[in-house]
Structure 1
Amino acid sequence: MNWHRLAAIVVKEARQMRRDRISLAMIVGIPVMQLLLFGYAINLNLRGLEAGIADQAGSAASRAAVMDMLATGVIAARAHAATPEQLMDMLRRGEISVGVAVPPDFERRLADGREAIQVLVDGSDTAVQNAAAQLAQMPLAPAPAPVAGEAAPGAPGDGPIRVVPFYNPERRSAVNIVPGLIGVILTMTMVMFTGMAIVRERERGNMELLITTPVTRTELMVGKVLPYALIGLVQTTVVLMLGLWLFQVPIRGSLADVYLAAVLLILANLSLGLLVSTMARSQFQAMQMTFFLFLPSMLLSGFMFPFAGMPAPAQWLAELLPLTHFLRLIRGVMLRGAGLWELWPEVLALLVFTALMMTAAILRFSKRLD
C-alpha cells in the first residue's frame, strides 16, 4: 500500500464532503435534532389532557370534585357539555381525550358509596388511557362508616370515580399502532420516491429530452405525482388487510373515508417530495433530506410518543407536519368511527399543506440544465 496515494484519496474525500453543504449539515444536524427531540420534546408523563366537563349536578360539592380532579394536572378543562352524550360526540370527533360526567344525583351516590363520577376516555391511545386511570385513585370524600351489623355500601373495590375506556378497552397496542403505520409507511416511501424523481432525470440525462418537449412545469410535476399515488393506495390496502387479518384491528368508520384520508396524505407527501427533488443535486442528497424530514415526523406526530406530553413549541412544530394530521384522521375514522366531515380541521390542514408544497415545487423547478 502506498501511503502517499492513500493520503491523497483521504484529502480528496474530505474536500468533497466540505463542498457538499447538505451532507455537512446532516453530520451536525442529525445528532443535534435527536438530542433536542429526545431531551425536550419526548415526555411519557402525560399532563394536561384535553377534557370536557358535563356537570349535571351543578352543586357546590360536584364543582369541588371537578376542581379537585383538575388540580391533579392530569386533565385540563377545554370544553363543557350538558350531557354525557355530548361528551361522547366530542370524543368521537377528537376534540377532547377525556370526558368527566357528573350525574344529577351526585351527592346521594357519594353518600351511598356508589359510583359518583364517570371518566370517559379515548382509549384508542393507550398512553392517554393509562394516564387517565390515575383519576380513579383519587378520593372524593371519606367513605361513610357502616352501621353495626350491616355491610359497607358499594361493592368491594368500587370507588367514587370510574374510568371507562372506549374504542380499545383491551388496551391492545396493535389497535393504536397499525393505523399509524399507514401514515409512517406512506410518509417514508412517498417522500423518498418523489424526492429522487427530478434528480434521477438529471443524472440519467433525460432532462435534455424533457426540455425539448412542450410539457409545462405543472404538467411534469403532476405527471410525476400520479403514478406514485397509485402505489400509495396499494400500500394502504396491504397494511389494512394485514392489520385486519393478523391483529384484528377494527375499521369502525367508512372504508371510503379511510382511503380518502390516505389520498390526502399521499398527495401531501408527494408534493413535499417534489420540493425536495428540486433542491437536491443528487439522489444521495435527496435521500439525506428525506431522512432529515422523516425523523421529526416519526417523533413528533404522536405515532411513537404521546402528543399530549410534548411541550408547546414541539406541538407547534408538529402541527406543520402532515403525518400529525393524518394520524388524527385515520385513528378517528378507523377506531372511533368518525366521518371526515367531523374531522374537517385535519382535512383542511392537509389540503393547505399540499397546495403550498406543490406551488413551491412548481415555482422552483425550471426546464433548464443550468
Structure 2
Amino acid sequence: MTRPAPPSDPRPDPAPPAAWRRFLGLALGTAAAAGAAAFVFIAAMDPYGLRAAPGRRPGPVMDLNQRFMYPQIVRGGAFDAAVFGTSTARLLDPQALGRAFPGRFANLAMNAATPWEQMQLARFFLGRVRARAVILGLDASWCDPAADEKRLTFRPFPPWLYGEDAPWRGLLAQWNLQSLEIAGRVLLHRLGRMRERIRGDGYEVFTPPEATYDAARAAAHIRAMAAAQLPTAPQPAAPGRTFPALVWLDGFLAAAPSDALKVAAFMPAHVAVQPRPGSPEAAQEAACKEEVAAIGRRHGATVVDFRIPSPVTARDANYWDALHYRLPIAERVLDGLRRAVATGADDPEGVYRVLARPPQG
C-alpha cells in the first residue's frame, strides 16, 4: 500500500542569506550613487552662488526666499550700495537709487524679514565690500521690545550662507531636496527654458500689475489688516534694552565706512495700522523714533520718517493693503529720500519728517 505524500508547506522557502545580501548591497549602492549624483549636480549648478566672487558673475536668482538668494549678489561684488529692510522697501528700484545717490545699488530687502535677519545680511554686505551707501527701510518690528526673542520666522534662514567659510560648509549644507530643485531651475535657466525669478540686483515688482488695481478690494485689505492688529499695551522691557533691535542698528551704522551715505527711513504704512495718537503704542513708537534719531546723529546718518499721518498714508488708493504701497508711491518715497538727504528739511506737503541729518560743515 502506497503511503500518501505529506502535505506541502504553503509558505515560501526563505531566501538564502546571500540573496538578501546582494539585494541590500544593490539598494544601498543605488542610494549612494543617487546621493552622490545629486551632490555633484548641486555643486556644479551652484544654486546659491557659493563660488560667486568679484570678477565671477553669480548665477541667476531662481528661488523666492531671498534669505537664500541674496548672499550671492553680495559675493559677486558688483554692488557697493544697498537697500535693506522688508517688503515695504522692496519697490525701491536700485537703478533709480543709483541715479539719486553715489554707488551701484542692489535691493536686498527681504519679505517679512526680522530686524535680526536684516542685520545678518547687512553685516555680511559690509564685510565683503567697501560700502558707498546703505539705506535701511525700518518698520514697526524695529520698535518691538521682544525683537531679540523674535529673531526668526517660519521661513528657513541659512546661517551657513553668511559666514566666511560658506563655500566649504555650503557644499554639505545645500545637499538636500530643496537645493536639488533650485539647481534644476538653474539648469533650465541656462537652457533658456526658465526665466530668472528676480533681477540680478535683487529688484522685483512683487505687487500685482498696476492695470489690475481694484480700489474696493484694496480698501477691504486695509481694513482687514487694521482689524487684525488689535492694540495691546506696550510690553515692559528690561532696563537698558527697551528696543533691542536698535542696538543692532547702532552697531551696523558704527561699522559702516565713515564716508558712506547712511540713511534709515521708516517706511510709509497706512494710517490704519499706525498707532492711535495718544495711545500707549503711539508713545512707545515715538520713543523708538527718538532713539533711532539719536543713533543716526551719532553716526552721521540721515533719519527720515514716512510712517506718519500724511497725504500718502491717509489715502487708501495709494496702497494694495495696509503695508504695501503702489509703484507711484515707491517713486515718491525714493524722491523724498533724495530730497531729505539733499536738504535735511521736512517735506513741505507733510509726506515725511527728517528726524536726524549729518552735521553740516
Smaller-chain TM-score range? under 0.3
- Please state which structure has a larger fraction of its residues in helix: 1
Q: Could you state the TM-score of these two structures normalised by the residue count of structure 1?
A: 0.24
